[in-house]
Amino acid sequence: MSASPGSVAEIQALIRSAAAAGTPLIPVGRRSWPGAGGWAPKEGRALDTTPLKRIRHYEPADLTITADAGIGLDELDAGLAENGQWLPIDSPGAGSGTLGAAAATGGFGPLRQRYGATRDNVLGLEVVTGDGRLLRLGGRVVKNVAGYDLVRVFVGSRGSLGVITRVSMRLFPRPEEDRTLIYRVRAERALAMATALRRGHLPVAAVVLGSGGMEGGGGRAATLAARILGGGRGAREITGRVVAALGADPDEALRDEASRRFHDRHRQWEDDARLMVRLRALPDRLDEVVAIAQPVAAAVAGEIAADARNGVVRVKTPAAPAGRDEVVAALAGARGRVEALGGSLALDDAAGELGRRVGWVGRGGGAGGIVRRIKSLFDPHGVLAPRCPE
């Protein structure tokens, strides 16, 4: 059962009555975004934000846009492209997802090093909190330090503090050229190449690894894809340097539309997942994190992909694994090892029983009291997603 309020006032009313009735609400967009483990309530009524989908303010020369939360990123992108601009959100679930969900999940994809994470580019939010108040936070200018930065708390809070109804974003010029150099090599070689690119301080926009060879053994090739964005001369120059730094010509060189499609596919890699495990550590520990992820992949018969620049390694399996003891042990072991590196391991909602047994996100940061007080400040009746990692 879901509600589809047609205005902000209706959302406020809906939240107030849910608070009175004590029934949880789960704000949703197009449901393309993978849930982060354990945030969503087990049961509750979906609050559909997609009916609100107007562009409220767009002045291309300002390089900012303000739109309702329910608009799809794909719809937005079409309008921005006409003006040679874009919103470089490439976290899993982007593309077909909504603007509101992009802000609420606050993730990042391989382009973060170049453009910042979503949270860095959200300029302002309109949000209805768990007690039905409408807050207009931040603004639509690119620099703004007026008051405490509440925008940052709501971005990435996954609907646990409020329902985001409108978002102002910073935009970027669309790169003139989009190139991707693809190398199909053994996993160890792919990791060594990623290290060489990182050490060389080359202005590569993204470096991703994947396509079925990262699990090690089996003789399948992994793919290293280096994405280069920029003006014509600059892009050619970087391409030349990447090839020189890696000491080999790419197996494939994609340009423009083909390059974009490649990265769309990489982003959508998670879409058919029944279980996602995300491991993160500092980028120079990537080899170790991949090694930690391999036994997990083996235990769940999953595949591995990595975002080399951001130190993210993902394990996905399209088949739902049961909460078998050996899977639980593999996950718990991997978490211990990645946390020993200073990193983290998180499961998404689909992990279900596994998530409850292993724990969704691992150890907290020691600011539990503050997290709880923020939660009850904005959602005093616990109407919205009741849990949040501490």
Partner 1 sequence: MIQQSLVRELRAICGSYGVLDDPDALLVYESDALTAYRHRPAAVVLPRTTRETRESVAAIARHGLPIVPRGAGTGLSGGAVALNDAIVVGTARMNRILGIDAPNRRAVLQPGVINAELSVAARRHGLYYAPDPSSQTTCTIGGNVAENSGGPHCLKYGVTSRYVTGLEVVLPDGEVIRIGGQGRDAPGYDLVGLFVGSEGCFGIATEIEVSLLPVPESVRTLLAIFDRIEDAGRAVSEIMSAGMLPAAMEIIDGATIRAVEDSVFAAGYPTDAEAALVIEFDGLEAGLKGDAERARRRCLATGAREVRTAQDEAERAALWKGRKKAFGAMGRIAPDLLVQDATVPRTALPSVLRGISRISARHDLVVANVFHAGDGNLHPNILFDRRDAEELERVERASKEIMRLCVDAGGTITGEHGVGLDKKHHMTLIYGPDELNAMWGIRRVFDPGETMNPGKVLPDETQPVAAAVPA
Stretch of 93-101, 248-256, 257-265, 305-313 lying at the interface with partner 1 (CB under 8 A): 305-313
Judged by CB under 8 A, how many residues of this single chain contact partner 1? 84
353 binds partner 1 (CB under 8 A): no
Residue burial 239-251, b: 16+ Cβ < 10 Å; e: rest: bebbbebbeeebe
Neighbours of 40 (CB within 10 A): 23
- Bridge-based pairing state of the strands 222-230 and 64-68: unpaired
**Of the two residues 169 and 211, which places its CB atom closer to partner 1 in the complex?**
169
Site for partner 1 in 200-219 (CB under 8 A): 201, 203
Smallest distance from the beta carbon of 214 to partner 1, in angstroms? 20
Residues linked to residue 55 through DSSP beta bridges, in sequence order: 67
Nearer to partner 1, 191 or 211 (CB): 191
Q: 246-275: which residues touch partner 1 (CB under 8 A)?
A: none
With binding defined as CB under 8 A, does residue 342 bind partner 1?
yes
Interface with partner 1, residue 12, by CB under 8 A = no
Binding test (CB under 8 A) with partner 1, winner from 9, 20, 51, 120:
120
User: Which of 73, 208, 361, 383 contacts partner 1 by CB under 8 A?
Assistant: 361
Q: Which of 10, 55, 60, 220 binds partner 1 (CB under 8 A)?
A: 60
- Give, for 291, the enclosing helix (H) or strand (E): helix 286-300
Inter-CA distances, 58 with 120, 168, 359, 377, Å = 19, 10, 43, 33
Please give the structure tokens belonging to residue 106.
Answer: 């606050």
**Under 8 Å between Cβ of 28 and 2:** yes
CB nearer to partner 1: pick between 48 and 102: 102
Residues between 23 and 52 that touch partner 1 (CB under 8 A): 36-37
The amino acid at residue 10 is: E
Among 23, 51, 81, 231, binds partner 1 (CB under 8 A): 231
365 touching partner 1, by CB under 8 A? yes
Over its C-alpha atoms, the chain yields an Rg (Å, rounded) of 21
The least CB distance from residue 153 to partner 1, in Å, is 5
Residue 143 C-beta: closest distance to partner 1, Å: 4
Quick one: 84 or 212, whose CB is closer to partner 1? 84
State which residue, 45 or 236, has the beta carbon closest to partner 1.
Answer: 236
Question: Whats the size of the chain, residue-wise?
Answer: 390
- By CB under 8 A, residue 91 contacts partner 1: no
Say whether residue 364 binds partner 1 (CB under 8 A).
yes
DSSP letter, residue 118: H
174 binds partner 1 (CB under 8 A): yes
**Which tokens belong to 360?**
């969704």
Binding partner 1 (rule: CB under 8 A), the pick from 21, 51, 173, 251 is 173
Q: Give CA–CA dist 202/319, Å, rounded.
A: 38
Q: Are the C-beta atoms of 360 and 389 separated by less than 8 Å?
A: yes
Residues 141-170 that bind partner 1 (CB under 8 A): 141-150, 152-153, 155-157
Residue ranges with strand state E in the chain = 2-3, 25-28, 45-48, 55-59, 64-68, 85-86, 122-129, 134-138, 162-170, 172-173, 177-185, 206-210, 222-230, 252-255, 275-280, 303-307, 312-317, 344-347
Q: Which stretch binds partner 1 (CB under 8 A): 72-80, 183-191, 263-271, 366-374?
A: 366-374
Distance in Å, CB of 147 to partner 1, minimum: 5
Structure-block tokens of residue 152: 């940052």
Decide: is 349 part of the binding site for partner 1 (CB under 8 A): no
Residue from 30, 280, 316, 335 in contact with partner 1 (CB under 8 A):
280
Please report how close the Cβ of residue 35 comes to partner 1 at its closest, in angstroms: 11
Piece of 21-29, 181-189, 321-329, 374-382 that binds partner 1 (CB under 8 A): 374-382
Q: Is 88 in the site for partner 1 (CB under 8 A)?
A: no
Among 248, 282, 319, 322, binds partner 1 (CB under 8 A): 282
Q: Which residues contact 315 (CB under 8 A, 6 or more apart)?
A: 276, 277, 279, 293, 296, 297, 300, 302, 303, 304
How many Cβ atoms are within 10 Å of 185's Cβ, its own excluded? 19
